[in-house]
Each structure stands twice: as C-alpha cells, then as structure tokens.
Amino acid sequence: MAGAVSALFLLDIKGRVLVWRDYRGDVSAVQAERFFTKLIEKEGDPQSQDPVVYDNGVTYMFIQHSNVYLMTASRQNCNAAGLLSFLLRVVDVFKHYFEELEEESLRDNFVVVYELLDEMMDFGYPQYTEAKILSEFIKTDAYRMETNQRPPMAVTNAVSWRSEGIFYKKNGVLLDVVESVNILVNSNGQVIRSEVVGALKMRTYLSGMPECKLGLNDRVLLEAQGRATKGKAIDLEDIKFHQCVRLARFENDRTISFIPPDGSFDLMTYRLSTQVKPLIWVEAQVEKHSRSRVEIMVKARSQFKERSTATNVEIELPVPTDASNPNVRTSMGSASFAPENDALMWKIKSFPGGKEYMLRAEFSLPSINAEEGATERKAPIRVKFEIPYFTVSGIQVRYLKIIEKSGYQALPWVRYITTAGENEIALLGQTSDLAAEIADLSSTLENALKDNHKQLKDMRTACGHKLSEAAAANMKLILGHLRSLPVEPEWEEHDVYLSHRGTALRMMRTGSKARQILRKKTS
C-alpha cells in the first residue's frame, strides 16, 4: 500500500462519531464533521456518488453498513481499492463478534471495538482481518481476555489465516465450483451481453497445517506442460485468489498451491467473456382482444443436454399494470399472479434438458385506460434456475492433492453448480410506446374504414361533397403510411411517427366534426 491511514472513524447515520482511532496524529476528530458535510453535498449529485471524498488535503474513503458509516481519513496517497476492501473485512469481523453491525452494538461493546481496531490496523497499515484468528485472543468476555495473554501462533507466523493445533477425527474438503450466467437478450432475440462469473468455494475440515494443490483444465497450464488438450480447456480471466494462495508460484507455473483457512472461504473467483446462449429460452407473445382483454402465450425451452436437469426454475413474466382477473394454464409447474410486481410468476421444480413447456394466460383490462391509449414499456422477462453437476465454461478440477506431515488421508469432494445471474430477455417484437400507439391507431382506423362505409356516404350527402371526400382521402392516406412503417422504428424515425400521429388525430377530429354536423342535420 502506497500510503498509511491517519485515522479510522465509525459514524452514526447523522454523522456523529461513535468510535474513532487516531493512528498517526495528523488529523483530528473535526475531520468527521467535514467529511459528513461533503457527503451531504454530494447526495444531491447522482454523478458523484463514489466512496472517495477529497477535501483540503485529506482523502476520505467510506462504506455504509446498516446505520453505520465506516470511514478512513488520510493525508497520504493510499490505495483506495485496498482500503475499501479492508473496511469490508472490518464489517465481517464486527459481525462475527456482535452478530450484526449497528449503532447499538458498537455502543454496547466499545471496549472490544477499540481492541479490534488496534489489532486490525497498526500505525495506519492493515494487519489481521481474519475473525477466527482475532477471536482467539480478543474475547467479548473480559475475564477470558485476562486468562489468555499469549497471542496465538497465527499472529506471529506467515500463515495468519490459520491457527495451529486444529484437529478433526475425519478429514475432508468440500469444493463447490459455482458459475453464474449473466445474459441480456434484446427484442430481436439477439444476445447483446453474456458472461460467466465463477467461484471456487471451499469448506475444509483438515487437521494440522496441510498443503493443498489444485489443478484445473487451464489452457495456459496444459500448453506449458506440453499436454494435448483432449478435453475442453478454458481461458480464465479476471482471476482473484484468496490470500492463502501463493501468487508467485501461480505466476511461474500456473500451479494453485495454498495452506487453506479452517472452515468456509472462496479460494478463487474468475470471469469468462464468452458467447453463451440462454440455457432456458423464453418466448412470449402478447395479444390484445377487444381492448379489454389481453392474452399471453409463453414457451420455455431448455437449451442444454438431456442428461442435465434445471431445478427451482422461476420465470417472471411482465404483465400490464392494470391487468386483473388472471386465468392461467400451464403444461408444467404452477403459476401465480403477483400484482404488486406487475408480473406473473411461473415456477417449475424440475426442468430436464431438451424439454419445452407452455403457458397461456388471460387478463382483463379496464376499458377506460384502453380508450386513452395508455401504453407502458414492458419490463423484460427474468429467469432464475440452478443446474447441478453442470458448468457452462467447461471448467474441470483435474486434481486436488492434500499433503500434511502427519500423513493422514483426506477425501476431497467436488461439486459443480450453474445458477442464473442476471438473465433478462426482452419481449420478442416488443415495440416502443410510440410505435405501439401508432399500431393501435392503425387498427382503429382500419376498423373505421370497414364498418363506416355507409356513414361516410351519409356524411357526403349531409355535409357536402368536399368535406366527406377529404375525410375519406385522409383516412386512406394515413392507413397507407402506417402500413408502410416498420414494426420497430429506429430512434431517428420517431419524428416520422409523430408526424403521422398528428395527421391521424387531425383526421379523426375532422371525422368527429362531420358526424356531429350529420347528427344535427338529421335530427
């Protein structure tokens, strides 16, 4: 870290200091008030909502958790990302001690808070942030604190994340390879964004100080070893390791070796920017009938191999805000109407690969809103699921070796899981609000042409040849223009739509005036 922190503050929601620790003596408690003043000024500017504030030679970095602000102040050039990560670790430590980090828990345990701040940061530099290690010599019970004066070996050796003397009757490691798929599909059915975010989550139950080695089907490693990549090799991006991994060795030969912490932790996270098709593809067609009823037909299809099965599938389908009286039928699963979210929730417990299911729903619409032509842009379809024993990227754990000087045998268990991250699919053929209004107007005018031929002839006789001919010509002209327009206009074509809409409205007013004259002359 380039610079050191001058002080660390814990503030309440109103900016009052609850606890603060001065590490270098070059700032005062007044800095908290100046920071909060700057923070209030920035609240009015949505473009300036960042976690770093600079004022008069002092840099403030902060996070908010519940009703507490955690803030560092420094006069040096510090690593902002590192300090923000440190503050997040401080939150985890406090939650480990107090169950929940709130203003009340800080006031009730301020003695322990000061001791933790002294251990987690020394002269402005972050030190120990492993809650399990800190809890061995900083106790919430004062009596127990007095009887444990000797710090654990973990604080004084190079492995600060693991204590010595850990013992289990049965030794084992559980490794979960969890991938989250983020996909965004536009209204044309094209995937415009896709990525895979993965994590290797470990739970270790190992005695002593074990040395672990993990091998993946990493393309760089396999090519460096001169091995033919018979199976699928992957290119990992944006890799982030837990602090226990020996980074120097990974940079040299791509070997992941580490002494693991005890319990649960994320060994590694990664990202793959690759073209991924939606694992569960959803198509929806929306049809309006008689301006007071809407029908939604949905088709969901799994696009993965038959040997895999998705579980706990949830498909959130947007419906009009004024929809009511749902009538839903499904070929699989159950559906429920959620009016508070303007959505229809379709849940399928088990969705095998290569299968296709259907849903049909009807809703009532209030005729008043339909007459007013109030249309709203539909929210996208959102899909959630979980597919066990399956990964999109094809990542594989080639081996997981556990070596400990006592020579015990530990059995590793590996599990693969794929979940839905941000899966959003726009309604196919969905048009903008303006285009929907024009399409609705086109349908209305077309019906008027078919149903009111006799009335147009009567208008010609009662109101004069010129007026009725102009009304008929305008109606035919606007229908021709509307039919020639594309279903999904580009933004630069909106002026054309506005022009046609204005012409159509003027024509409708002319026809309305003609009908009024007709009624007066025939009465």
Dump pLDDT digits (tens) for 304-314: 999 999 999 99
pLDDT at 118 over 50: yes
Question: Taking the model in full, what pTM does it have?
Answer: 0.58
Average pLDDT, integer, range 101-126: 86
With respect to residue 167, please indicate whether it lies within any of the assigned structural domains.
Answer: no
Q: Are both 410 and 475 inside the same structural domain? A: no
Q: Are both 260 and 291 inside the same structural domain? A: no
* pLDDT tier for residue 261 given thresholds of 50, 70 and 90: very high
Find out whether 217 and 254 touch, Cβ atoms under 8 Å. Answer: no
pLDDT at 347 over 80: yes
Higher pLDDT, 199 or 136: 199
| Helix, strand, coil in percent for the chain, rounding step 5 | 35, 35, 35
Q: CB under 8 Å to 464, separation ≥6 — which residues?
A: none
With respect to residue 146, please indicate whether it lies within any of the assigned structural domains.
Answer: no
With respect to residue 136, please indicate whether it lies within any of the assigned structural domains.
Answer: no
pLDDT at 54 over 60: yes
- Kindly state the percentage of the chain with pLDDT values over 90: 28
Q: What total number of domains does the chain contain?
A: 4
Higher pLDDT, 22 or 504: 22
Q: Are both 375 and 409 inside the same structural domain? A: no
Q: Looking at residue 252, what is its pLDDT?
A: 84
Q: Looking at residue 130, what is its pLDDT?
A: 83
* pLDDT tier for residue 131 given thresholds of 50, 70 and 90: confident
Q: Looking at residue 348, what is its pLDDT?
A: 95
pLDDT at 15 over 70: yes
* pLDDT tier for residue 506 given thresholds of 50, 70 and 90: low
Higher pLDDT, 332 or 484: 332
pLDDT at 440 over 90: no
* pLDDT tier for residue 477 given thresholds of 50, 70 and 90: low
With respect to residue 134, please indicate whether it lies within any of the assigned structural domains.
Answer: no
- Parent domain of 351: 280-379
Domain boundary (351, 379, 407) is at 379
Domain boundary (129, 156, 181) is at 129
pLDDT at 84 over 70: yes
Average pLDDT, integer, range 46-52: 69
Task: List beta partners, residue 175.
Answer: 202, 414
Q: Are both 264 and 305 inside the same structural domain? A: no
Higher pLDDT, 346 or 451: 346
pLDDT digits (tens, 9 = 90+) for 329-344: 999 999 999 988 889 9
- Report d(CA 221, CA 73) in Å as an integer: 43
pLDDT at 268 over 90: yes
Q: Are both 189 and 270 inside the same structural domain? A: yes
**Residues 177-204, buried b or exposed e (16+ Cβ, 10 A)?**
bbbbbbbbbbbeeeeeebbbbbbbbbeb
Average pLDDT, integer, range 294-319: 93
Q: Are both 34 and 107 inside the same structural domain? A: yes
With respect to residue 160, please indicate whether it lies within any of the assigned structural domains.
Answer: no
Domain boundary (369, 400, 425) is at 425
Q: How far is CA 174 from the centre of its chain?
A: 27
Q: Are both 185 and 320 inside the same structural domain? A: no
pLDDT at 495 over 50: no
Q: What is the residue-averaged pLDDT of the chain?
A: 78
pLDDT at 487 over 50: no
Q: Are both 113 and 85 inside the same structural domain? A: yes
Q: Are both 331 and 480 inside the same structural domain? A: no
Structure tokens at 124: 């402005």
The CATH number of whichever domain residue 224 belongs to comes to 2.60.40.1170
Helix (H) or strand (E) holding 99: none
The CATH number of whichever domain residue 98 belongs to comes to 3.30.450.60
pLDDT at 299 over 70: yes
pLDDT at 507 over 80: no
pLDDT at 376 over 70: no
With respect to residue 52, please indicate whether it lies within any of the assigned structural domains.
Answer: yes
- Report d(CA 273, CA 276) in Å as an integer: 9
Q: Looking at residue 39, what is its pLDDT?
A: 80
Q: How far is CA 359 from the centre of its chain?
A: 26
- Kindly state the percentage of the chain with pLDDT values over 70: 71
pLDDT at 135 over 90: no
Q: Are both 446 and 400 inside the same structural domain? A: no
Q: Are both 263 and 285 inside the same structural domain? A: no
- Report d(CA 454, CA 214) in Å as an integer: 83
Structure tokens at 316: 């959130």
- Report d(CA 127, CA 93) in Å as an integer: 13
Q: Are both 70 and 194 inside the same structural domain? A: no
Q: Looking at residue 462, what is its pLDDT?
A: 52
With respect to residue 161, please indicate whether it lies within any of the assigned structural domains.
Answer: no
pLDDT at 144 over 70: no
* Radius of gyration (C-alpha) of the chain in whole angstroms: 33
With respect to residue 145, please indicate whether it lies within any of the assigned structural domains.
Answer: no
Amino acid at 132: K
Query: How many CB atoms sit inside 10 A of residue 39's CB?
Result: 18
* pLDDT tier for residue 357 given thresholds of 50, 70 and 90: very high
pLDDT at 369 over 90: no
Average pLDDT, integer, range 81-105: 87
pLDDT digits (tens, 9 = 90+) for 181-216: 999 888 888 888 889 999 999 999 999 999 999 988
